[in-house]
Amino acid sequence: MKLPTNRPAWLTLERLAKLPAKLAGRLPRFPDEIRLPIPEPVRKSMPVFMRTTTFKLAMLYSLMIAAFSGALLAYLYYSTVYYIRVESERRITVEFEQLANAYYTGGMQRLSQSVFERMTLSGSPFYYYLEDTSGRKIAGHFPRLPDDPPESGMKTVYFDFELPQTDGTKVLRPAAGRIVRLKDNGGALMVAFDTAQQTVIVDRIQSAILVAAPVALILSLLGGVLITRGAARRAEELAKTAEAVIGGELSRRVPVRGTGDEFDRLAQRINAMLDQIGKLVEASQNTGNAIAHDLRSPLTRLRNRLELALASPMTEQDASNTLGETVEEVDRVLDTFNAILRLARLDAGTEGLRVRMDLSEVAEELAELFDPACEEAGLTFRSQIARNQLVLGDRELIGQAISNLIDNAIKYTPQGGSISLSVTRGADAMIDLTVLDTGPGIPAGDRSKVIERFHRMDSARTQPGSGLGLSLVQSVAELHGGELVLADGNGPPDRPGLRATLRLPRA
Amino acid sequence: MADTLHHRALKVLVIEDDNEMASFIEKVLEDAGHEVECARDGAAGLARARAEDFDALVVDRMLPEKDGLTLIREFRDAGGTTPALFLSALGDVQNKVQGLKAGAEDYLGKPFVPAELAARVEALGRRQTSEPQVTSLKAGDLEMNLLTRKVTRAGKKIDLQPREFRLLEYLMRHAGQVVTRTMLLEKVWDYNFDPQTNVIDVHVSRLRSKIDKEFSEPLLLTVRGAGYRLQG
């Protein structure tokens, strides 16, 4: 469509485009561009497996197991060695006591006799050595003392000695013993205990530990990997889902195992978040469609009217009328625009409060607000409102929904008709708020269409309003976990009237 | 529209960055008989609001340098008492709540009807002068006792429903000023949406029939294209 060429010079296209804004205000500004941060791929300096939590957790796990088993083995080792030593000390002490007895009762002679006797006992683990004051050997297994006897008292020595075998060879054996300087005599006695057997036990334990420790380490590593792999797999699922969503698959969800563990809870949260994002995306798409659908035609009409006005010469009165109509038309466009925005916000679920409120009270207030207007319109208005019906919701939004239902009833009910508003306790823990009129009603096949966005039945074209009234009621109902149900009223089949019920869950 | 004969002009500071919008607001308020000064960004606006004693502030929310909410918050924190009205394209109930919480007295969504703006600025600017703790209100020969809830005109008792009483109380508190339908729905019924049916008109005309019917001089006037005015 072209502008007529004889338009006044001041009326440029730009000015024409600015007219609605100039006359009625400014529309909200939107950010020019919404940029989503796209994550940079993580820099790969370490091998992939070493960066994974699995690896780190497995390492930590095996370190802990290793430390624990190390401590256990060390305890085992030292307590065994300690026990063996204490035990041999004890036996040496007993042996000394008996020899001391012999010495005190029968002197050196009795003692040497006793030593000889004991040396001949087979299977005894003890070795003896007795020398006189001058250091000469009286009896004993060894050619001489391994160490000097103390000036007085007792001293413990550890030494190796050569044990002659039956075949003539000699074997080096370890022994622990005590040397005592004999009182009143100056001689010395040593009782030693062959520790070879003990050493064997200790060696066994040592080698067992040397074998067991690496095995334990490997096993703990394996266990760590096994245990953490499950968690890693769940994390991987999360990452895969996120990738799919980034790739545009908004319907993808993280699998929930139903075990109720923290991964399940995380998955549920993430899924809820994705649901919400999906809702927002859908709402913004709806808004886009709505703007295209519902604003383009009235704006085109507006433009046509202005062009026509420009093209035809007119009186001041005509011009004033045209401008007045134009302002009205622009107001309607803006109303529609606001309604679309409000619906978008409702759909996104970010609008409204959730407080315990008395639906009966709001209904009473609106009945009181609308009653005179209905009467003025030649309609009978009745209300029957059960008291104290509580819902969780937003008073303002619910008030607006009820107002839309009554507005709608007034709009379509001819003079002499009646409108009734009722609040009753419905089935299934719901509260039913019903607006019933005696208008033409809505044929069953068209009911879903009127609730649907941006549909207006043709007969309604001449009525004021955005045509989004019932859509808004529906959105408010959904936001509160309820529904809007349309049904025939009580009239005759050709004019049944409309029964619109807003069903909200009881608080 | 506004009662320029009975009231002194209000000094209004308009803080609005859009040139066209600013001159539109300026014109509307000047036509209503007020003295208007404009500031083009939040920082400049705040400086002006602090520097001079205005009767009312009209503030856009989305402003360069300093957004409207911050501006009002800072102004109030620094002890500024000038009543303020947000005039914003963010016109939903939630936005209104934000604005009032920030410390503004009133909130009007864009687009707006010029008369609505004029009426609200008028109500805002006169607010300071009206005593809040009065026990009785008077407009011409109409009297309202807020304690006994008795209403008389020229000594004759008038029976009012509770809502009619609140409606009349609001009108009397703003006697001589234009009050719009939206203002009444907001302040008397406490709803912020806009019913398509002219519900308020009928309530006002019922009230009018009670207070004006038997008297030669009408008190409750309809201001065409704007709202109502109770003669002071």
Q: DSSP readout, A184-243?
A: TT--EEEEEEE-HHHHHHHHHHHHHHHHHHHHHHHHHHHHHHHHHHHHHHHHHHHHHHHH
Please give the pLDDT value at position B127: 63
Write the pLDDT tens digit of every residue in B70-120: 999 999 999 988 999 999 988 777 788 889 999 999 999 888 888 899 999
Asked if B117 and B167 sit in the same domain, the reply is no
Contact A306, A326 (CB under 8 A): yes
- The answer to whether position B6 is within a domain reads no
Nearest CA in chain A to B199: A373
Asked if B72 and B116 sit in the same domain, the reply is yes
Yes or no, beta carbons of A345 and B92 under 8 Å apart: yes
Asked if B160 and B224 sit in the same domain, the reply is yes
Structure ipTM: 0.83
Give yes or no for B191 touching A (CB within 8 A).
yes
Please give the pLDDT value at position A451: 77
Q: At what angle do helices B114-127 and B19-31 cross, to 10 degrees?
A: 70
The architecture in CATH of the region A355-505 reads: 2-Layer Sandwich (3.30)
Residues of each domain in chain A carrying CATH 3.30.565.10:
355-505
Share the mean pLDDT of chain B: 88
Yes or no, beta carbons of A25 and B111 under 8 Å apart: yes
Write the pLDDT tens digit of every residue in A95-140: 888 888 888 888 888 888 888 888 888 777 788 888 888 878 888 8
**E strand intervals along chain B:** 11-15, 35-39, 56-59, 84-88, 106-109, 136-139, 142-145, 150-153, 156-158, 178-180, 220-223, 227-230
Final residue belonging to a domain, choices B73, B103, B127: B127
Give yes or no for A460 touching B (CB within 8 A).
no
Find residues 160-189 of chain B whose CB sits inside 8 Å of chain A: 163, 189
Asked if B45 and B117 sit in the same domain, the reply is yes
Give yes or no for A355 touching B (CB within 8 A).
no
Please give the pLDDT value at position A465: 55
Bridge partner list, A175: A159, A194
Please give the pLDDT value at position A306: 86
Share the mean pLDDT of chain A: 80
Nearest to A396 among B90, B191, B201 (CB): B191
Please tell me the distance from the alpha carbon of residue A223 to that of residue A446, in angstroms, as a whole number.
65
- The answer to whether position B217 is within a domain reads yes
Asked if B169 and B213 sit in the same domain, the reply is yes
Percentage of the residues of chain B whose pLDDT score is greater than 90 = 56
Give yes or no for B24 touching A (CB within 8 A).
yes
Q: At what angle do helices A13-24 and A316-348 cross, to 10 degrees?
A: 70
Yes or no, beta carbons of A403 and B193 under 8 Å apart: yes
Going by DSSP bridges, is the β-strand pair B156-158/B150-153 parallel, antiparallel, or unpaired?
antiparallel
CATH number at residue B91: 3.40.50.2300
Asked if B61 and B155 sit in the same domain, the reply is no
Please give the pLDDT value at position A277: 85
Please tell me the distance from the alpha carbon of residue A324 to that of residue A328, in angstroms, as a whole number.
6
Q: Backbone phi, then psi, for A148, in 5-degree steps?
A: -70, 145
Asked if B19 and B123 sit in the same domain, the reply is yes
Bridge partner list, A47: none
Please give the pLDDT value at position B132: 63
Bridge partner list, A501: A434, A485
Q: Any residues with CB less than 8 A from the CB of A397 and at least 6 apart, and which?
A: A346, A351, A352, A476, A479, B93
Please give the pLDDT value at position B5: 44
Q: Pick from A64, A138, B178, B51: which is nearest to B37 by CA?
A: B51
Find residues 189-218 of chain A whose CB sits inside 8 Å of chain B: none
Number of CB pairs < 8 Å for A and B? 77
Yes or no, beta carbons of A29 and B203 under 8 Å apart: no
Please give the pLDDT value at position A1: 43
- Per-residue pLDDT averaged across B174-201, rounded? 88
Please give the pLDDT value at position A456: 44
User: What count of Cα atoms within 13 Å lies in the side-chain half-sphere of residue A165?
Assistant: 7
Nearest CA in chain B to A371: B199
Contact B159, B211 (CB under 8 A): no
Please tell me the distance from the alpha carbon of residue A242 to that of residue A253, in angstroms, as a whole number.
9
What burial class does residue A37 get, using C-beta atoms within 10 Å of its C-beta: 0-12 exposed, 13-18 middle, 19+ buried?
exposed
Structural domain boundaries enclosing B226: 136-230
pTM metric for this prediction:
0.61
Q: How many domains does chain B have?
A: 2
- The answer to whether position B3 is within a domain reads no
Please give the pLDDT value at position A41: 54
Please give the pLDDT value at position A5: 45
- The answer to whether position B161 is within a domain reads yes
Asked if B142 and B97 sit in the same domain, the reply is no
Asked if B112 and B153 sit in the same domain, the reply is no
- The answer to whether position B226 is within a domain reads yes
Please give the pLDDT value at position A36: 52
- The answer to whether position B160 is within a domain reads yes
CATH number at residue B208: 1.10.10.10
Please give the pLDDT value at position B130: 52
Asked if B63 and B146 sit in the same domain, the reply is no
Final residue belonging to a domain, choices B127, B155, B187: B127
Please tell me the distance from the alpha carbon of residue B38 to that of residue A77, in angstroms, as a whole number.
90
Question: Would you call the peptide bond into A372 cis, given omega within 30 degrees of 0 as the criterion?
Answer: no
Final residue belonging to a domain, choices B77, B96, B127: B127
Percentage of the residues of chain A whose pLDDT score is greater than 90 = 17
Asked if B16 and B111 sit in the same domain, the reply is yes
pLDDT along chain A (507 residues), means of 10: 46 47 42 51 58 74 81 85 84 86 85 86 81 82 77 77 77 83 79 81 83 81 78 83 86 85 88 86 75 77 85 84 84 79 75 85 94 92 94 90 92 92 90 94 83 50 60 89 91 89 93
- The answer to whether position B4 is within a domain reads no
Task: Please give, rounded to a whole number of angstroms, the shortest distance from the CA of B198 to a CA of chain A.
Answer: 7
At residue A40, the 3 state secondary structure works out as coil
